[in-house]
A and B are shown apart, each in its own frame.
Chain A
Amino acid sequence: MKTENAIELVDVTKKFDEATAVSRFSVEIKKGEFFSLLGPSGCGKTTTLRMIAGLEIPTEGQILLEDNDVSSTPAYRRSVNTVFQDYALFPHMTVQKNIYFPLKMKKIPLSEARPRIERVLRLVNMEGFGKRLPQQLSGGQRQRIALARSLVNEPAALLLDEPLGALDFKLRVAMQKVLKDIQRNVGITFIYVTHDQTEAMTMSDRIAVMKDGLAHQIATPDEIYNDPATAFVASFIGDMNFIHGTVRENDGKACVLNVNGDTLTARREVNLEKDAEALVCIRTERVQVNPQRSVENKVSVKLTRIVYRGTDYEATCLIGGSELRAVVQAVAWDSSLRVGDTVEVAWSAEDMIVFPREEEKDVIKYSVEAV
């Protein structure tokens, strides 16, 4: 049976002496997919990428490339290529020689290789740069040459290790579009490592969110945003509120909780028993202030802070000691509201996500102590 998978990882584990960098990571990456590994530094995403590239050998588990077990095949014999974070263009070779290098290793003569080199230069919009040296190029140009060099061999998959990390913001956004276009045009599988969630969310078909060597969730951006599997994923992506509550009832389809005296309902599957301590999460943009239409979950609170952010307003209040923030579009904001006013904050039952309280320690916090 011809496989759909470009790359498959089966229970891949990597240990360095006593420390575990990657723990039992399994995934099937389809051909032509733009797949991202997302997580904070030290989560194991780069190590995973290097294992796919062949620069590290897994301690346990297997790596399959188009259904062939390549777990112990060295990097120079795998048909995957990597774009490194610092591009690693050979400084003593011209752009053309750099791009020719992988073909040269395959003993393809320069005459045959030239059209391929030209084609790939056209692809990244760098025609005519063949005779330049890497240090004569800007950061963005080097990045594109590194991309070209890795693509010229038409690998089964392209691995990218935070390739846009060194670029400034506007350039990064532009390059994101370029990368996505190239990936779609060429149809190559991309495996993309980043710590920037916006990047991952905008470019990927699927994302693996990792922490401390474990994959918390492997899903599409939509699922990751609206149905996070763990509190960590919920906190890492987007802007999430976290407040404490206790489970009152749970019939499998909906869960009723007691939050600071108020009764709130979450209409989704929740894996908690009655009386269990829970972590309640709502996206800040899903919290409405003084809604006109009737909404299922409502709490009466006093505003403690109002921040004008240009496109929207961020209003903060306290529920049982935890901060709750509501982000309201500027056009919808009632400008008569002041700090100290009592308002109703509300959200629908579908927008409320519930996790076990123990997961709170995994949540990424933004506070002075956390720094």
Chain B
Amino acid sequence: MSSRSKAAGRGRGTALKIYGTLIFVFLYFPMVIVLLFSFSPTRTIVGLSGFTLKWYQELFQDPGLLTAFWHTILVGLCAVVIATVFGTAGAFFVTRAEFPGKGVFRSLVMLPFLLPGIIMGLTLLIFFRNLNVPLSMFTILMGHVSFTTPLVMFQVSSRLLRLGPTYRWAAMDLGANPVQTFWYVTLPMIRTALIGAGLLAFTVSFDEIVISYFLTGTWMTLPVYIYGMLRFGLSPKVYAISTIILILSLVLITFMARYTGRSVENYRVRKRNRA
């Protein structure tokens, strides 16, 4: 680590750190504002005149909002399940098969995640229109599946590539047929990647508005509902629900960080050492 300080000057470092801290504050300041506003009984911040849970209480009395919240969870769970199945299958395919144009194929699968949501939204809208499918939970679900699947596929294939083919060879060499190899060796070794990818997919789906807004009829998810609320101005209820979403996302991210970026080995050793 001393090499870092050797190559780095000292004065320069400080200026950079100040700038970096400013950016940091810039990143978090808006979220803190929302948090503060959700507890403030009035609409202005200057003179934070009190602390109230009034707005949170109003949330629970809003049936439309509660339904939308439930819808969002439902869609999230379903999308994650579907995305995991298709994404994992895709990951195995992409890491095991060789064919010309494989890179293009991979890029095509990543498209729904990389392209602006408006493009995915309108293509799917036109698609469903042409097939006379009414806008409902199904269409929103399909929209969510479209951008969560590449996510899962990317995470799982990264893990598969990192593990390498040796474990599979060893398993087969020791007498495991392909099914047994998958079940007893490969699957346990990608377990944490699957969980991490699932959490990530759920988080992204939970918050999604761009595509959902295109594909929504009367069946709404939470972000769409909130967006509707914004039409009537910024009522403090909005801050309350925003804060809840913030906290939920943070919790999900923390869990996800525990699972991704660490391989199975480290996680289990830690678990054992605690036991």
Q: Which residues of A contact B184 (CB under 8 A)?
A: 101, 104
A233–B166 Cα gap in the complex (Å)? 31
Assess whether B169 is interfacial by the CB under 8 Å rule. Answer: yes
Question: CB distance B265 to A84 under 8 Å?
Answer: no
Q: Which residues of B contact A76 (CB under 8 A)?
A: 172-177, 180-181
Question: CB distance A153 to B175 under 8 Å?
Answer: yes
A338–B185 Cα gap in the complex (Å)? 66
Q: Which residues of B contact A74 (CB under 8 A)?
A: 172, 177
Assess whether B210 is interfacial by the CB under 8 Å rule. Answer: no
A49 to chain B, nearest CB (A): 11
A369 to chain B, nearest CB (A): 35
A104–B185 Cα gap in the complex (Å)? 13
A16–B266 Cα gap in the complex (Å)? 38
Interchain CB contact (< 8 A) of A84 among B166, B180, B181, B266: B166
Assess whether B272 is interfacial by the CB under 8 Å rule. Answer: yes
Q: Given A76-B177, A84-B166, A92-B189, are A136 and B172 also a contact pair (CB < 8 Å)?
A: no
Q: Given A55-B169, A88-B166, A91-B263, are A136 and B269 also a contact pair (CB < 8 Å)?
A: yes
Assess whether A306 is interfacial by the CB under 8 Å rule. Answer: no
Q: Which residues of B contact A88 (CB under 8 A)?
A: 166-167, 169-170
Question: CB distance A92 to B173 under 8 Å?
Answer: no
Assess whether A133 is interfacial by the CB under 8 Å rule. Answer: yes
A101–B169 Cα gap in the complex (Å)? 13
| Residue among B167, B170, B264, B265 with most chain A CB within 10 A | B170
Assess whether A309 is interfacial by the CB under 8 Å rule. Answer: no
A136–B266 Cα gap in the complex (Å)? 10
Assess whether B171 is interfacial by the CB under 8 Å rule. Answer: yes
Q: Which residues of B contact A84 (CB under 8 A)?
A: 166, 169-170
A260–B170 Cα gap in the complex (Å)? 56
A80–B173 Cα gap in the complex (Å)? 8
Assess whether B188 is interfacial by the CB under 8 Å rule. Answer: yes
Assess whether A150 is interfacial by the CB under 8 Å rule. Answer: yes
Question: CB distance B174 to A133 under 8 Å?
Answer: no
Interface string of A76-90 (1 = CB under 8 A from B): 110011101010101
Assess whether B268 is interfacial by the CB under 8 Å rule. Answer: yes
A290 to chain B, nearest CB (A): 55
A106–B180 Cα gap in the complex (Å)? 11
Interchain CB contact (< 8 A) of A82 among B170, B181, B269, B272: B170
Interchain CB contact (< 8 A) of B174 among A86, A91, A101: A101
Question: CB distance A105 to B180 under 8 Å?
Answer: yes
Give the number of chain A interface residues (Cβ < 8 Å): 28
Question: CB distance A53 to B174 under 8 Å?
Answer: no
Question: CB distance B189 to A91 under 8 Å?
Answer: yes
Q: Residue on A with the closest CB to B273?
A: A136
Give the number of chain B interface residues (Cβ < 8 Å): 24
Interchain CB contact (< 8 A) of A135 among B170, B177, B181, B269: B269
Interface string of B256-274 (1 = CB under 8 A from A): 0000000111101100100
Assess whether A298 is interfacial by the CB under 8 Å rule. Answer: no
A136–B270 Cα gap in the complex (Å)? 11
Question: CB distance B167 to A75 under 8 Å?
Answer: no
Assess whether A149 is interfacial by the CB under 8 Å rule. Answer: yes
Question: CB distance B173 to A133 under 8 Å?
Answer: no
B40 to chain A, nearest CB (A): 50
Interchain CB contact (< 8 A) of A133 among B170, B176, B269: B269
Q: Given A55-B169, A84-B166, are A91 and B176 also a contact pair (CB < 8 Å)?
A: no
Question: CB distance B174 to A105 under 8 Å?
Answer: yes
Question: CB distance A149 to B268 under 8 Å?
Answer: no
Question: CB distance B171 to A91 under 8 Å?
Answer: no
Question: CB distance A101 to B268 under 8 Å?
Answer: no
Q: Which residues of A contact B170 (CB under 8 A)?
A: 82, 84, 88, 90
Question: CB distance B264 to A91 under 8 Å?
Answer: yes
B218 to chain A, nearest CB (A): 47
Question: CB distance A75 to B172 under 8 Å?
Answer: yes
7 smallest beta-carbon distances between A and B, as pairs: A88-B170, A105-B175, A102-B174, A91-B265, A88-B166, A75-B172, A92-B188
Q: Using CB atoms and an 8 Å cutoff, list the residues of chain B in contact with chain A.
A: 166-167, 169-177, 180-181, 184-185, 188-189, 263-266, 268-269, 272
In the complex, besides A77-B175, A81-B174, A92-B268, 14 extra interface pairs with C-beta distance below 8 angstroms are: A54-B173, A55-B169, A74-B177, A75-B169, A75-B172, A76-B172, A86-B166, A101-B171, A102-B175, A133-B265, A133-B269, A133-B272, A135-B265, A136-B269
Q: Using CB atoms and an 8 Å cutoff, list the residues of chain A in contact with chain B.
A: 53-55, 74-77, 80-82, 84, 86, 88, 90-92, 101-102, 104-106, 133-136, 149-150, 153
Q: Could you list 8 A-B pairs, sorted by A, with CB under 8 Å?
A: A74-B172, A74-B177, A77-B175, A82-B173, A90-B170, A90-B185, A101-B176, A133-B269
